[in-house]
Amino acid sequence: MRRLKAEWEPHKLILMAFPHEETDWAREGDLQKSYAPFVRIAQAIAYSQSVYILCRDKESIGDLFCSKNNMIFIEADYDDTWTRDYGPLSIEKEGKKSLLDFRFDGWGGKFEAAKDNAINRFLHSKGYFGTTPMESIDFVLEGGSIESDGTGTILTTSRCLCNPNRNGGLSKEEVEVKLREYLGARRILWLDHGFLAGDDTDGHIDTLARFVDEKTIAYVQCDDPSDEHYGELRSMEAQLRDFRTEKGEPYRLVPLPLPPARYDEEGQRLPATYANFLITNRSVLYPTYDARDSDRAAGAIFAGLFPDREIIPVPCSRLITQGGSLHCSTMQVDY
């Protein structure tokens, strides 16, 4: 029997990858500025638990930190920084810890991903995951595309998992067979609505709606009829209201504000979302976007949702220029 662990369960470490000269971060013209959000995230994590940092040069990246406590720098070759989508998934298999290495194809072939796809096997071969077994699976599945409540329920989106650019465009029923086989899923809750402008992931669930516990889902809400997200997010909200827990009860739904619209230099809207938060062993890190009112409102919501964890805001305006945010740049690993 398999079980995909919930993010709030204790885990061994958080995996990150820092920008390097061959990533899109360098193509923006100032690699040094790109380090800032990654340093902030790593420092916040390392305050209370281990963080593994992939990099090209561990000496130069290590010099970015005043303290390297709880940090392990690993020199590796990789394409990009979004470890949420190519890092290993942590499961229990017959009561023992195990890791799953799914195929990563650069969000449906949009970006080069061969090196990212090889990272888990590299780390495992070098002993960074101890003696925990890891299974490599020839099926495209990104960590940011699924949410687990830890007891057999998976929350996901049809726009991503059934997309023709993943696995040839499988039906919901065909995808469910895979999720049951590999993740031990007993129930799959499908969201058919919801999107963020500027998102390259085809609707990752971790940008839209997140399990907080087995009975609670935090989700992005839009209450401005003039916003381009209004119709889709309203429809998503209605679908969330129809979902039931395994015991047949409505979920406790907690709306998160939609940050004010942010745009890049070409006028394209950026995918800012407070749903892209990270639950660590002792804290919750949530992204902020230089939007005082909504940043504070989101922080207050997280404080209410996680009274036993420290709530840590992390500026992520720089991250969304490359299409991701805080959760996208991290992956919890238990071995």
- Kindly list the domain boundaries of the chain, sorted by start residue: 2-333
Question: Which superfamily is assigned to 2-333 in CATH?
Answer: L-arginine/glycine Amidinotransferase; Chain A (3.75.10.10)
**pTM of the entire structure?**
0.97
Q: Which helix (H) or strand (E) element contains residue 46? A: helix 31-46
DSSP 3-state of 310 = strand
Find how far residue 68's CA is from the centre of its chain.
24
Residue 321, C-beta contacts closer than 8 angstroms, at least 6 positions apart: 28, 264, 270
Q: Which of 143, 140, 137 is nearest to 85 (CA)?
A: 143
Which helix (H) or strand (E) element contains residue 172?
helix 172-183
Cβ–Cβ under 8 Å, residues 144 and 201 = yes
- Angle in degrees, CA 315, 273, 167, rounded to 5: 120
pLDDT tens track, the chain, 335 positions: 899 999 999 999 999 999 999 998 987 667 888 999 999 999 999 999 999 999 999 999 999 999 999 999 999 999 999 999 999 999 999 999 999 999 999 999 999 999 999 999 999 999 999 999 999 999 999 999 999 999 999 999 999 999 999 999 999 999 999 999 999 999 999 999 999 999 999 999 999 999 999 999 999 999 999 999 999 999 999 999 999 999 999 999 999 999 999 999 999 999 999 999 999 999 999 999 999 999 999 999 999 999 999 999 999 999 999 999 999 999 999 99
